[in-house]
Chains A and B, each alone.
Chain A
Amino acid sequence: MEMQQFYYDNKIVKKFIYATILFGVVGMLVGLLLATLYLFPNLTDGISWLSYGRLRPLHTNAVIFAFVGNAMFAGIYYSLQRLLKARMYSDFLSSLHFWGWQLIIVAAAISLPMGYTSSKEYAELEWPIDIAIALIWVVFGINMIGTILRRRERHLYVAIWFYIATFVTVAVLHIFNSLSLPVSVMKSYSVYAGVQDALVQWWYGHNAVAFFLTTPFLGLMYYYVPKAANRPVYSYRLSIVHFWSLIFIYIWAGPHHLLYSTLPDWAQNLGVVFSIMLLAPSWGGMINGLLTLRGVWDKVRVDPVLKFFVVAITGYGMATFEGPMLSLKNVNAIAHFTDWIVAHVHVGALAWNGFMAFGMIYWLIPRMTKGKLFSVKLANLHFWLGTLGIILYALPMYVAGFLQASMWKQFNPDGTLAYGNFLETVTQIMPMYWIRMIGGLLYILGLFILVYNIYRTLRANQPIEDDFAEAPALKVLSGSRMSGEKFHPWLERRPIQLTILATVAILIGGIIQIVPTIMVKSNIPTIAAVKPYTPLELEGRDLYIREGCVGCHSQQIRPFRSEVERYGPQSKAGEYVYDHPFLWGSKRTGPDLMRVGQKYNDNWHFNHMWDPQSISAGSIMPGYKWLFDNEAMDISDIEGKLRVMQTLGVPYTDAEVANARVSMAKQAQKIEDNLHSDPDFVKSYENSKKVAAAKGEEFVPMSQREIVALIAYLQRLGTDIKVKDNAKK
């Protein structure tokens, strides 16, 4: 048989590895800064683009899409070519994929600190970047499927199925969750509102974990663990069951992020049931990975690559055991909104994704440079620093989460809350935030060791060149099943049919969950007293979104006595019908704000936003001084915003749109008048007028500054229901 000669593209793998390392360092350093901001909240005082709320999405996006994303692509580009005995379909597409992806990352790194965000978790990027992501993702898909069609190996190894499922599902998720109507180049509103937006978001959010952080890395596990251990996977049959059951079940589990929320109960319960079932395929996969090492455990003692893999797979096992447990409503009632969840995701990110990526890099670089790793000792040191870092990160966060939840729920014998002031529950867990920061620091030190070790390895060995290979061309077989050929072996050599079947498997769960909630009106009972935001409040809400307040404050009061006592009546689905996007949040570093409206006077908010510690000593909230700058708020888009809202079904009248600026000025002036009731305000206000005059600057009245809009929004929160209650009385 004639052998065909070709080269494997190693240079594209190299590029993706470099990007992985670079953005790993960046993403984790931002994480470390965030951990430090818990301890020193005013470390970056007055610098808007270094504030916690704006950096948090940068950290999550950098780690997920830049670090893990690039690691995934590096791993796929290396293994796919070899498993298919073919060079990537198109060098141009490979290059376009690489540079396009890096450009998206840079766009994210610039736009997120500037405050351009949709506020939907792990989907914060604004619409032009979303479109770019979709396009580049399709480039990746075409390149992958093109390679598969040109392959010289008949059967598609299980790793490739995981890659295919990743491509298909992330495309579906990303497109549906990002649907929004643009107001301007960098501002849009989600087409969904309130409960529906929440459901779609967490259908996306959960499955971003499933199909961006899990399935591609399982594919990598099925390739690199056998490679590093030099023996085939423990059970190929198990891997087939693993694949189909995982993708079939995973897609249903999203609503476990919304337990006890105002999501209809049937959807919540569906999410719980499927989350519990998910334990089976997840652990099947974990066991399959670990048992691949049967008979070579002695190698694990000496080979850092295998050490990283073992801890990665163990971390996967821990996170996927914990996931179903957290989905039980009684456990979720404690863990949700606390640092427990932060611990959970970091076990996944640091152990599973991080250590898989590190193991892969330590295995790939010596191989591609045709030499040895510069120092096995340093790799071992990295391993131990990283492992210790994970433990020091996760353990205190578990303690903090459990402790704080217990304090939130603690009552005195007389029926009052034992920790009525939210802040008391924060100051108690400060030592845990310290240990967490140290854990993160150790993990990053380990990463720096990797950087040095890889740098020295690259210098000592040969430059990375494309690998020569030869293989016979694939004989053309009939597309239909041959006599005696079973269904699955046939499917495995038919990539298109396999892709279609995988798509069907993921769409079933998605459709059954999402469609009824969006279509069936009775799922969201409307409340007559709930009215759309005034133009000023809407601008204030956009500032709330811009500053990332949702990163620390929820707007969702669960039906527990402890929450009703602390925050007011439980949230109702009908209260959110005009919320494009929803702002329920997923973490309470500070208290819930659902009903903060009219709880404090305007001066309280004014002083609190300027210097939170002056109101609440020991608060870990940063000040937002730039909202007070002597600049008029940009309201140039207000009519456009209202019109987009009209299109989305929010009942603004045309007269309201036309009069928006008048109404804003009126409402803002009222807040400024209220502020004058504080003599301290009057004094400093007069003072700043003089300062501006001395500098020759034009003085912008307080009513035109951003802070007033934010106060208007905060004072509105949850008050519609109060109006109704008052009317009843």
Chain B
Amino acid sequence: MFEAIKHNLERIAGVEIYPILSLLIFFTFFVGLGIWVYGYKKEAIDEVSQLPLND
């Protein structure tokens, strides 16, 4: 199924590292994002989301 894609990728030197790098970049990015977001205190979230209504 992925022949068309693999065919092009196989010719790149050192391609083995690509999937590992991609996984790392994305894993770090989204896990980091998740941690930030859920690290928020409830009060802080409420306060910030009220900003547009308080002018």
Interface residues of A (CB under 8 A from B): 79, 82-83, 85, 153, 155, 157-159, 222-223, 226-227, 230-233, 236-237, 240-241, 244-245, 248, 264-266, 269, 469, 486-489, 492, 508
Q: Contacts A241-B33, A248-B29 given; indicate if A83 touches B51 (C-beta within 8 A).
A: yes
* Secondary structure class of chain A's binding surface, majority of residues: helix
B36 touches A232 (CB 8 A): no
A83 touches B37 (CB 8 A): no
Contacts of A245 in B (CB 8 A): 30, 33
A244 touches B33 (CB 8 A): yes
Q: How far is the CA of A222 from the CA of B50 in the complex (A)?
A: 11
Taken residue by residue from 32 to 55, chain B's Cβ proximity to chain A (1 for < 8 Å, 0 otherwise) reads as 011011111000111111111101
B37 touches A241 (CB 8 A): yes
Chain B residues bordering chain A, tally (CB within 8 A): 27
Contacts of A489 in B (CB 8 A): 40, 44
Closest to A234 in B: B49
Interface residues of B (CB under 8 A from A): 4-5, 7-9, 12, 25, 29-30, 33-34, 36-40, 44-53, 55
With A222-B52, A236-B49 given, can you name 16 additional A-B contacts, CB distance below 8 Å?
A79-B52, A82-B52, A83-B52, A155-B48, A157-B48, A157-B51, A157-B52, A226-B53, A232-B52, A241-B33, A245-B30, A245-B33, A265-B4, A488-B39, A489-B44, A508-B25
Expressed in whole angstroms, the minimum distance between the Cβ of B16 and any Cβ of chain A is 15
Contacts of B36 in A (CB 8 A): 240, 486-488
A159 touches B52 (CB 8 A): yes
Q: How far is the CA of A232 from the CA of B51 in the complex (A)?
A: 8
Contacts of A233 in B (CB 8 A): 49
Q: Contacts A237-B45, A269-B8 given; indicate if A486 touches B53 (C-beta within 8 A).
A: no
Contacts of B45 in A (CB 8 A): 236-237
Q: Contacts A486-B36, A487-B36, A489-B44 given; indicate if A232 touches B8 (C-beta within 8 A).
A: no
Q: How far is the CA of A226 from the CA of B38 in the complex (A)?
A: 22
Q: Contacts A232-B53, A245-B30 given; indicate if A266 touches B12 (C-beta within 8 A).
A: yes
Q: How far is the CA of A6 from the CA of B2 in the complex (A)?
A: 62
B39 touches A266 (CB 8 A): no
A265 touches B51 (CB 8 A): no
Selected A-B contacts with CB under 8 Å, 10 pairs: A79-B52, A153-B51, A227-B52, A227-B53, A236-B45, A264-B8, A265-B8, A486-B39, A488-B36, A492-B48
Expressed in whole angstroms, the minimum distance between the Cβ of B27 and any Cβ of chain A is 13
Other-chain contact of A82, B39, B40, B55 (Cβ < 8 Å): B55
Q: How far is the CA of A327 from the CA of B45 in the complex (A)?
A: 36
B52 touches A236 (CB 8 A): no
A237 touches B38 (CB 8 A): yes
Q: Contacts A265-B5, A265-B8 given; indicate if A240 touches B37 (C-beta within 8 A).
A: yes
Q: Which are the 4 A-B pairs with shortest beta-carbon distances?
A: A82-B55, A232-B49, A488-B36, A236-B49
Contacts of A244 in B (CB 8 A): 29, 33
Q: Contacts A226-B53, A237-B40, A240-B36 given; indicate if A266 touches B8 (C-beta within 8 A).
A: yes
B50 touches A232 (CB 8 A): yes
